[in-house]
Structure 1
Amino acid sequence: METLRVKPEFLADIKRGYSLIHKDAVTNRHYLETEGELFEVVDQFNRFLGKAYYGIQNKGIGWILSTHEEEAIDQEFFNKKIAYALKQRDSFFNDSNTTAFRVFNGEGDGIGGLSIDYFDGYFMISWYSKGIYQFRDQIIASLDILTNYKAIYEKKRFDEQGTYVDQDDFVKGTPGVFPIIIRENGMKFAVDLNDGAMTGIFLDQRDVRKAIYDTYGKDTNTLNTFSYTGAFSVAAVLGGARETTSVDLAKRSLAKTIEQFSVNGIDYEAQDIKVMDVFNYFKFAQKHDMKFDLVVLDPPSFARSKKLTFSTAKDYPMLLEEAISVTAKNGIIVASTNNASFGMKKFKTFIDKAFKDTNTKYKIVETFGLPKDFKVNRDFPEFNYLKVCFIQKLK
């Protein structure tokens, strides 16, 4: 096992439990050859810090798995990590009203680069580097030992071009007949675990959908932008919205949104579903002086259309200005981003800039991060990537 020395400026975070090894954190990275190989990290005095695996993921070259020098990274290690994570989700497994949730959340549960989601009897494993994928057999064996399941599916999210690897996602068990219908706080959603990178629902937005369902959707005319499969629109309708408009550029969003409405017994023909560029829709709404009581903004971190390249880190204030122009007085804007490159404090500066630039007063009435099944290390908020603000437009 190779030994890599951590530079002094990175020591404090690692000693506090920061498990990602930054590419600039070690002095002798060239010793590593094959993703998946284990190595030890030490300080400048050769004092042991942890055992890690080599796996290239974004700005990191690996993750610390254990800070105990005598602990072996073997089948028992993976069994213990996954067993503890499953135990912490007992309340979810025992809730018949919510049958889809995250059972293992990467570094928050002790193994960076790995996530495992549960969909009513089906597990979906996501691998975020070639390195963690080398432990595939042990991790699947842990699920065999610790759980009963219908089937296991997987997503490889580590190809060199940064795009999803086309594959058959079925691993073992009895293949599902998709879509399956999962429940979430009483709502129903159609899910397909063997249809490319997406499943049909983003589980990290569960609390936000619940807030719309419980409180913010009632008696509203709702605009759901970057709507994907229309899950926020479903929450709004079931929460008492008068009408919804779902807008997404992807052609498949039409059929997927119709499907989500239909499994909830909603007449999709009574809802407006637009397959078009969101910014073009804003222009259309402004031209016709349309106003919405609830506007949902949940854009991808980066998107490109024929006329526009959009980045949340750069363009979110501009997106908010468009939303402000079509939001009714006292209406609510749900501003959301999953961009991990900035935190909630920075995100709120985007909000403040947009409202000041449009000479509009506002109040942030509620904020959300990741739900509790998406376990994160509280000392390092960058891992709590989800930032959602419910903003009331005052005047």
Structure 2
Amino acid sequence: MIKKLQAKPAAAGEYIDGLPLVERASVTNPDALSEEGELFILSDPKGRYLGTGYHGLQNKGVGWLLTANQEEEIDQRFFNRKIRSAVEYRSSYLKSAETTAFRLFNGEGDGIGGLTIDYFEGFCLINWYSAGIYRFKTEIVQAIEKAVEPKGIYQKKRFNEKGGYIEEDDFVSGEEAPSPLLVKENGVQFAVYLNEGAMVGVFLDQREVRKAIRDKYAAGKAVLNMFSYTGAFSVFAALGGASRTVSVDVANRSLPKTIEQFSINGIDHEAQEIIVEDVFKYFKYAAKKGKVYDLVVLDPPSFAKTKKNTFSAAKDYKNLLKDTIRLTADNGIIIASTNAANVSEKKFQGFIDQAFKESGISCRILESFSLPDDFKTIPSYKQGNYLKVFFVQVNKSGSQK
């Protein structure tokens, strides 16, 4: 028997307007749900139908609405339609020889919250964000195989497992991918690993930002890439003619991974600087040594913790920017980026304005970026459009008095 939830009066209007995430605080009877993956009907306080969804625990949510059509069945045909539609929306990417890694299905933007699918040179990687959506694995894998005919399928389970979902590795079906698998982004190669933990080697949502760095900003510049991960920004900067790049990340794996990314693109990694160190410690070192850079990429995780420092984008980004301003040359550019869904674009721009004001330095925003079009979002769920990137020019000669 399908479960029934009732929306609180204050929340009902949001669901009528298309909000897909059902939060615990938005319904009167969240405890009516017992088993993740079960379907439910959401009604307004007068019992009128609002939508059908599935129970999946994700952040503050207890589930996602899948349809506002009471006659629509959540069955194999439903998943076939959703994934086929997403594939058709990205047909230009599937035909591209220059970009062979992109987001194929983007959660609620494509109609199924809690699920994303990335495409890597013929292979598909599924990200499951709750045990609830994982219950539909058979249907979703079948829908992918029918719509894309991939060489192989991999998966990442990004939820706390409580038994019953133990699998030996992340390989699902088809043929296994080479390790590394070489993919392309705007003609640049990346080495990705589909079966090595949560992160494969590149964040696909920054594609347009990397292209802008290569094509418009890097030539002749000394570039500092903070929280560099595998050095993707540095690779694009070097290919764009940067005079030198400095990549800093606390993770030990960043050194061999960054060397690999430079090498597969024909760049002499020994001509670049790759530093394994706490980024916060490097800020202090660089300031003490008087180091200055023309272009600084500041793309921290929304939350980070090292032995001596804890960083939260919502609380600490302003101070991180102030440290960055000190290391940026006059007329230099800071690429300020955050993927924190709880920081709105307006709030993030406020961090930038306040950091420069407190530093007594003038600035000018040259351009901004959000998610590329393959990361499809919907207006009714603003948290889904999480990426905010500003190219900010530093004007120290015209500093505020």
The TM-score range, normalised by the shorter chain, is over 0.9
Q: Contact 2:369–2:390 (CA<8 Å) still a contact in 1? A: yes
Aligned runs of 1:115-130 on 2, under 5 Å? Answer: 115-130=116-131
- Bigger shift: residues 95-104 or 302-311: 302-311
Q: What is the one-letter code of the residue matched to 2:228?
A: S
Q: Could you give the per-residue CA deviations for residues 210-235 of structure 1, whole angstroms, max 9, x where no partner exists?
A: 11011111111000000000000001
Q: Could you give the per-residue CA deviations for residues 78-136 of structure 1, whole angstroms, max 9, x where no partner exists?
A: 00000000000011111110000001000000000000000000000000000000000
Alignment match, 1:251: 252
TM-score normalised by the chain length of structure 2: 0.96
Q: Contact 2:102–2:119 (CA<8 Å) still a contact in 1? A: yes
Q: Could you give the per-residue CA deviations for residues 280-320 of structure 1, whole angstroms, max 9, x where no partner exists?
A: 11111111111100000011111111111111110001100
Alignment match, 1:47: 48
Query: Does residue 221 in structure 1 map to residue 217 in structure 2?
Result: no
Alignment match, 2:328: 327
Quote how far apart the aligned CAs of 1:166 are. Answer: 8.8
Alignment match, 1:348: 349
Q: Which runs of 4+ in 1 moved over 4 A?
A: none
Q: Could you give the per-residue CA deviations for residues 123-175 of structure 1, whole angstroms, max 9, x where no partner exists?
A: 000000000000000000101222221110000000169xxx99511001111
Q: What is the one-letter code of the residue matched to 1:151?
A: G
Alignment match, 1:172: 173
Aligned runs of 1:115-264 on 2, under 5 Å? Answer: 115-159=116-160, 168-264=169-265
How many aligned positions are there? 392
Quote how far apart the aligned CAs of 1:378 are. Answer: 2.4
Cα distance in 2, alignment partners of residues 306 and 190 from structure 1 = 29
Q: What is the one-letter code of the residue matched to 1:273?
A: I
Cα distance in 2, alignment partners of residues 23 and 211 from structure 1 = 41
- Bigger shift: residues 152-161 or 68-77: 152-161
Q: Contact 1:166–1:196 (CA<8 Å) still a contact in 2? A: no
Alignment match, 1:394: 395
Alignment match, 2:381: 380
Q: Contact 1:86–1:104 (CA<8 Å) still a contact in 2? A: yes
Q: What is the one-letter code of the residue matched to 1:49?
A: L
- Bigger shift: residues 26-35 or 77-86: 26-35
Alignment match, 1:337: 338
Q: Contact 2:131–2:161 (CA<8 Å) still a contact in 1? A: no
Q: Contact 2:182–2:191 (CA<8 Å) still a contact in 1? A: yes
Q: Contact 1:108–1:377 (CA<8 Å) still a contact in 2? A: yes
TM-score normalised by the chain length of structure 1: 0.98
Alignment match, 2:14: 13
Q: What is the one-letter code of the residue matched to 1:371?
A: P
Cα distance in 1, alignment partners of residues 195 and 353 from structure 2 = 41
Cα distance in 2, alignment partners of residues 381 and 38 from structure 1 = 24
Alignment match, 1:113: 114
Identical aligned residues as a percent? 55
User: Unaligned stretches of 5+ in structure 2?
Assistant: 397-401
Cα distance in 1, alignment partners of residues 253 and 144 from structure 2 = 33
Alignment match, 1:61: 62
Give secondary structure in 1 for the equivalent of 2:325.
helix
Cα distance in 2, alignment partners of residues 37 and 263 from structure 1 = 46
Aligned runs of 1:78-93 on 2, under 5 Å? Answer: 78-93=79-94
Cα distance in 2, alignment partners of residues 89 and 128 from structure 1 = 22
Cα distance in 2, alignment partners of residues 207 and 393 from structure 1 = 22
- Bigger shift: residues 58-67 or 380-389: 380-389
User: Unaligned stretches of 5+ in structure 1?
Assistant: none
Q: Could you give the per-residue CA deviations for residues 12-34 of structure 1, whole angstroms, max 9, x where no partner exists?
A: 21111110001111111111110
Cα distance in 2, alignment partners of residues 366 and 168 from structure 1 = 42
Q: Could you give the per-residue CA deviations for residues 191-210 of structure 1, whole angstroms, max 9, x where no partner exists?
A: 00000000100000101101
Quote how far apart the aligned CAs of 1:372 are. Answer: 0.2
Q: Contact 1:236–1:244 (CA<8 Å) still a contact in 2? A: yes
Quote how far apart the aligned CAs of 1:353 are. Answer: 1.1
Cα distance in 2, alignment partners of residues 154 and 334 from structure 1 = 32
CA-based RMSD: 1.1
Cα distance in 2, alignment partners of residues 182 and 363 from structure 1 = 35
Query: In structure 2, do the counterparts of structure 1 residues 189 and 72 end up closer, same or farther at CA, with 3 Å as the change threshold?
Result: same
